[in-house]
Structure formats: structure tokens, C-alpha cells
Amino acid sequence: MLEANRHPNIEILSYSEVIEVNGYIGNFNVKIKRKSRYVDETKCTGCGSCTDACPIYVPNYFDEYLSARKVIDIAFAQAVPAVRNIERHSCVECFACVDACEQSAIDFSIQDKIMEVEVGTIIIATGWDLYEGEDYGYGIYDNVINQIQLERILAPNGPTLGHLKRPSDGKRPKRILFINCVGSRDINKNPWCSVVCCNLSLKNSKLIKSEHPDSEIVCVYIDMRCAGKDYEEYYRRSRDAGIIFVKGIVGKIEEDPETKNLRVWFEPVGADTVISKEFDMVVLSSSSLPSKGTREIAEVLNMERSPDGFLKEYHARLDPISTKVYGIYICGSSQGQKEIDKAVSQAKGAASSAAIPMKKGEFTIELIRATPSDERCAKCYKCIEICPFSAISVNETGNLVVDLIACRGCGTCAAICPSKAIDLIYYRDLQYMNLIDELLPMED
């Protein structure tokens, strides 16, 4: 982020939200809401005096609410820009931060601003959210956590400085259970596989074993899906390290109210009995979901989403980067679940696809477009309903209007029109009839 921030051709608009997009490739007009930090970014030097003076603590969202932070603070270490942000819903307005700031950078009267920018192409990379149902006591039992929370616990800059401690009492858990496919591969919740969960369980269990070789780690799974370069070998090394993998399904979990330990019942595949075992901590590999930002940007851009809620690409196999709108590209988990290496590859592909028309300075399209006939149109407007590109509209006189940029010449409207009031340029019925007459002439 620091390197990107220093690049002369990159402008980072953090703490901002896209609220409206108009135009077409090469001429997009984007309205952006710059949310107020209540700190003047031109004056703030990032010294942190305001944070030291603030008396109010709130849960730290960056640490998955496992630690606390001040009401006025930066989002995380090395955040760009290094400007403090005030959580106004928790601020008591004691103005201790105002008194501590030598630059007079804090101003509670600063309002949100709307800015407009002209861009040629757009890349959407809105990431993913984590499934957080109450499966297996998550959110109810203190020591049932998800993989992202474990990531923060094991991180050197996390709430425990990288040392494994359970949330309830800060003690080191010796017996740990990993449960894969929580909230995923379930037709009643999320039917898809989240792709990364198996490898995430391997990585974090190995990290725990590296620091505490005497840890007893059990991983319950439906299937271990470790496809990819060196992933299967990594799985074998995890088994060699003493991590126990059990194919089966966890039935229920109960907490001991005194020790906060967790009694788990699970049934291994092939066994005729249900196993009951006590663990100090349970880690859930939860399903990945379309992020809130993915849903919001889909509404702003009027983009289609696939049945799983992720953004719909132009073609799932042949063109997973482009969308139905020229100049708008998607990458990473906004398009679907994928590993880091695939997300990086797709991001590079999206950047390259967006850069090509920008470098050329022009974009050429074939004018195979729908052309409506007002005389023959019965005003049923079935074409408007079925158009996958939202390219057909009605003008003030009730006649059909086709957006030549949005239309892709797919012919869906011409096929469904009961009045045959829409033709495709270069593919009119009369042309085909003449061609057939030439190929198959009638003998006199």
C-alpha cells in the first residue's frame, strides 16, 4: 500500500464509497462519497497525540474484535494514509483529542463530500465476507472462533503478538479442533465450496505445531480438497507433523461453564459409534460469502450476479474477467471463491485488459446492433424484459430506443419479438432469404 501510495499515477481514495456510475467505456463518470474522518488530511501529520489523549476504548474491528482500540486511531498499522479516524457513534465528544492536536487538524464540523471523477475503465475487486451463523456455538461459546480470528491471534501484530491464547482466559489451548466446511457445501445454507478452507486449516494447524509441538490438533472434514501446486504435498507434511485428520461430521458442541472447555460429539466415516472428546478451543473454517461491497456495487452498476451472489462474468470459462458492460472488469473474490494465486493472476489479467484500450486511446466495436421498427412494434416490451445488457429502453413517445454502446448484438430481442419488429444489422431476415435463394436457386 505504501508503494502504491507513492506512485505518481495512483490516487488512493480510502474511506470512500462509489454511489453512482454513468457513461460507457472511455467516458465513465463516477460519483464518490468521501466519508468524513473529522480530521483534516492536509494538516494531520500522523503523530498519534490524539490517540494517546483519547480516554475511550472500543472493540478493534481489524483484530476481529479480540482487542480494543481508541475511538480516534488509524485502521491498522501502515494504513494509507496515516490519518486518524474518529468513530463518531462511540465518541463522547470530550474534545481531549482537539486539545492534544498541535496542528489543529481535528474538526467535528467536517461533513461528507461528493466528488466526481472521469475514468476510462473500471476494475471491481470487492473481496468477500465470512459466514457467521451460530453453527457449533459460534458467537455463544467464548472459545469457538473462526479462521480469520485465529489468523489475527497468530499474527505477530495481532492482539496476542502471535502467541496462541484462547479468548476466554488467555491461556494456551493444548487440545484444538478444526471443523471444515462450516456453512458451506450445504444446500440449506451455501451449496458451494469455499476453496481456501482446507489449505487454511493446514496452514494454521502447522503454525500452531511449529510453536507448540505438543499440541493435540484434530481436523474434522467432509473432503480434503487440496488441489494445486504443492498443496497435496503440504497436506502430507501436515499429517507427518502429527495433526490428526478425521473424515466425518460434527454433531454438537457443549461448553463446560466452569472451565470453558468444549465437549464435542462427532461421527467418523466408517465408524459405528459417535466419539465424544473434550477440547480447549474449536476453530471453524466458515464459508466465504459475497461481500457487502459486492452487493452494493452490483446495484450501483446494474450488474448481474450469479446464483451464488457473486458478480457474473461474461463467460465463466472463456472470459471470467470481462462483464457484460464494455470497460468494466472483475477479479478476485468479487467473481467467485478462489485461492490467493488465482486471485493474483486474475487481478493481473483485469489490469491488463483495462490497460489495453486506455493505452490505445480508442475502442472498436462491431456495429451488429438491434434496430427496432416503430411501425411494426406492438408495444409489448418483451424485448426490454429479456435484454441481458439492459440496452433497450422507451422514449417519451413510447418508442423503443437501443443504446448502441450497451447492446452486444446477441439477438435475444429479435428472437423473442412476436411482431418481428427488431432486426440485427447485417443479420436481417431478408439478407438470409436472399442468401438462401442464391445458394439454392429454384429451377423453372
CA distances for 11 relative to 2, 34, 95, angstroms: 12, 13, 31
Whether pLDDT at 88 is above 70: yes
Domain stops at, among 289, 312, 329: 289
Q: Does residue 126 contact residue 83 with C-beta atoms inside 8 Å? A: no
Mean pLDDT of 225-238: 90
Do 283 and 156 lie in one domain? The reply is: yes
Do 61 and 146 lie in one domain? The reply is: no
Do 134 and 251 lie in one domain? The reply is: yes
Please count the structural domains in the chain: 3
Whether pLDDT at 211 is above 80: yes
Is 39 a member of any domain?
Answer: yes
Whether pLDDT at 430 is above 80: no
Residue 375 neighbours by CB distance under 10 Å: 7
Mean pLDDT of 375-403: 92
* Residue given cell 473462526 in the structure block: 146
Domain stops at, among 244, 264, 289: 289
Lowest mean pLDDT: which of 60-64, 276-280, 337-341, 364-368? 364-368
Do 270 and 375 lie in one domain? The reply is: no
Structural domain that includes position 383: 370-439
Mean pLDDT of 58-81: 92
Do strands 288-290 and 128-130 pair parallel, antiparallel, or not at all (unpaired)?
antiparallel
Do 194 and 90 lie in one domain? The reply is: no
Is 306 a member of any domain?
Answer: no
Q: What percent of the chain has pLDDT over 70?
A: 100
Is 152 a member of any domain?
Answer: yes
Do 207 and 255 lie in one domain? The reply is: yes
Do 142 and 283 lie in one domain? The reply is: yes
Q: What is the pLDDT of residue 163?
A: 94
String of b and e for 246-278 (b: at least 16 CB within 10 Å)?
bebebeebebeeeebbbebebbeeeeeeeeeee
Do 140 and 251 lie in one domain? The reply is: yes
Q: Which tens digit of pLDDT belongs to each residue from 390-416?
A: 899 999 988 999 998 889 899 999 999
Please report, for the domain that includes residue 385, its CATH number: 3.30.70.20
Whether pLDDT at 432 is above 90: no
Is 296 a member of any domain?
Answer: no
Do 110 and 137 lie in one domain? The reply is: no
Do 141 and 270 lie in one domain? The reply is: yes
Q: Which tens digit of pLDDT belongs to each residue from 6-56?
A: 899 999 999 999 999 999 999 999 999 999 999 999 999 999 999 999 999
Please name the residues in contact with 433: beta carbons below 8 A apart, sequence gap of 6 or more. Answer: none
Mean pLDDT of 87-112: 94
Mean pLDDT of 226-243: 91
Is 136 a member of any domain?
Answer: yes
Is 318 a member of any domain?
Answer: no
Q: What is the pLDDT of residue 444?
A: 59
Do 98 and 138 lie in one domain? The reply is: no
Is 124 a member of any domain?
Answer: no
Q: What is the pLDDT of residue 332?
A: 95
Do 279 and 144 lie in one domain? The reply is: yes
Is 79 a member of any domain?
Answer: yes
Mean pLDDT of 250-260: 95
In 180-335, where does DSSP find H-type helix? 197-211, 231-240, 292-301
pTM value is: 0.88
Whether pLDDT at 302 is above 90: no
Domain stops at, among 289, 323, 350: 289
Q: What is the pLDDT of residue 440?
A: 86
Please report, for the domain that includes residue 211, its CATH number: 3.50.50.60
